Amino acid sequence: MKIKVGFGFDVHQLKENHPFVVGGVDLEHHKGAYGHSDADVLLHAICDALLGAANLRDIGYHFKNTDPRWKGISSIILLQESVKLVKEKGFEIGNIDAMLCLEAPKINPHIPAMQQHIATAIGIDIEDISIKATTNEQMGFIGREEGVVAYAVCLIQKI
CATH of the domain at 59: 3.30.1330.50
The binding site for a divalent metal cation consists of 10, 12, 44
The binding site consists of 10-12, 36-37, 44, 58-60, 63-67, 134-137, 141, 144
Cis amide linkage into residue 105, ω under 30° from 0 = yes
Give pTM, 2 decimals.
0.97
pLDDT tens figures, 106-144: 999 999 999 999 999 999 999 999 999 999 999 999 999
Q: State how beta strands 25-27 and 20-22 pair.
A: antiparallel
The structural domain count of the chain equals: 1
**Strand ranges in 31-90 using DSSP code E only, listed in sequence order:** 31-34
Range of the domain at 27: 3-158
